[in-house]
């Protein structure tokens, strides 16, 4: 075997392992972002663990039942959880290798948060309902295509005008990609979470619904109370103060992996915001 053959053999193995690693990484990443699929995976793990314990202890009846569950379980799961599995595969297809928010500089992220908070502050004082959704790693192109395309610079004046009463687009959501408004009037699936307060309206349920299906960041202003809420990672943080909402946006929009220089820049974001405010 020549040196070239040896190098090619090693290179093929590295590429092979790298492809498998990437596949598992994106599958697990999308499962983590999908709350329903995460619960499904946890349930399967619980069944497997109970089966192992029953075999070790010698629980014959429990082990016999679980054998049938494990044998026929995959088919039952595909049938019962077909919508969730389809949604997870759609998420995988919509996933982006690099989230749009990652390309923003510190100044761009600071300006983005400033404009959103200014609009949210106006809306809460004027009791104007608003739903602002920020795209991250998982693409929202399916919802953008069905909404009214704008692709405009992100400003608090534009956000306020979109959600102003009697505007035809005020009932839908605004989707932000990077530091630009991609569309308005977007419609999202509402959450079926039984723990959600029944008094919360469609905006809150839509914000939580998109946060359960994707890694998007949703900001809601209640039309009735003016209260601010943020939905992220399948959770709804209700009745936040303006400062808490700002801090949460800054934290969530930070790049997941940064070098030391970038970290020092990120730590200065709050100071930059205070200076401009």
Domains of the chain plus CATH, in order, are 3-94 (no CATH), 100-276 (3.40.1700.10)
Which of 270, 233, 232 has its CA nearest to residue 250? 270
**What is the per-residue pLDDT for 262?**
45
**What is the per-residue pLDDT for 11?**
86
pTM: 0.64
Q: Which helix (H) or strand (E) holds 240?
A: strand 235-240
Rounded Cα distance between 181 and 174, Å, is 7
In 181-241, which ranges are continuous DSSP H helix? 202-213
Q: Would you give per-residue pLDDT tens digits along the chain (277 residues)? A: 677 778 888 888 888 888 888 877 766 666 655 566 666 777 778 888 888 888 888 888 877 888 877 777 777 777 766 766 666 666 555 554 444 444 678 888 899 999 999 999 999 999 999 999 999 888 888 899 889 998 899 999 999 999 998 888 888 899 999 889 999 999 998 888 877 877 888 899 999 999 988 889 999 999 999 999 999 988 899 999 999 999 999 999 887 654 444 444 545 555 554 555 5
In 81-155, which ranges are continuous DSSP H helix? 82-94, 106-126, 141-146
Rounded Cα distance between 156 and 121, Å, is 10
**What is the per-residue pLDDT for 206?**
93
Rounded Cα distance between 125 and 254, Å, is 28
Q: Which helix (H) or strand (E) holds 57?
A: helix 35-57
DSSP secondary structure letter of residue 154: -
Rounded Cα distance between 27 and 11, Å, is 24
Rounded Cα distance between 72 and 47, Å, is 13
Cα–Cα distances (Å) from 160 to 157, 233, 249, in that order, read 5, 26, 18
């Amino acid at each position: 075997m020549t040196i070239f053959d040896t190098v090619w053999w090693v290179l093929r193995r590295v590429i092979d392992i790298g492809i498998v690693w990437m596949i598992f990484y994106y599958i697990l990443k999308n499962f983590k972002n999908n709350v329903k699929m995460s619960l499904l995976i946890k349930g399967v793990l619980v069944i497997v663990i109970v089966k192992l314990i029953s075999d070790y202890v010698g629980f014959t009846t429990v082990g016999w039942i679980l054998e049938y569950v494990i044998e026929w379980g995959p088919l039952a799961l595909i049938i019962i959880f077909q919508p969730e599995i389809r949604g997870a595969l759609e998420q995988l297809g919509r996933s982006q290798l690099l989230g749009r928010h990652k390309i923003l500089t510190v100044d761009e992220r600071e300006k983005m948060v400033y404009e959103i908070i200014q609009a949210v502050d106006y809306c809460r004082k004027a009791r104007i309902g608003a739903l602002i959704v920020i795209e991250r790693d998982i693409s929202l192109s399916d919802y953008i295509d069905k909404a009214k395309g704008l692709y405009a610079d992100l400003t608090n004046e534009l956000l306020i005008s979109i959600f102003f009463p009697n505007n035809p687009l005020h009932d839908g959501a605004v989707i932000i990609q990077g530091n630009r408004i991609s569309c308005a009037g977007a419609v999202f699936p509402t959450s079926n979470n039984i723990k959600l307060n029944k008094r919360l309206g469609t905006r809150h349920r839509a914000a939580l619904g998109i946060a359960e299906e994707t890694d998007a960041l949703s900001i809601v202003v209640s039309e009735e109370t003016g209260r601010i809420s943020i939905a992220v990672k399948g959770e709804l943080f209700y009745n936040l103060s303006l400062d808490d909402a700002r801090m949460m946006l800054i934290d969530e929009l930070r790049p997941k992996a940064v070098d030391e220089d970038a970290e020092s820049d990120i730590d200065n974001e709050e100071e930059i915001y205070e200076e401009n405010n």
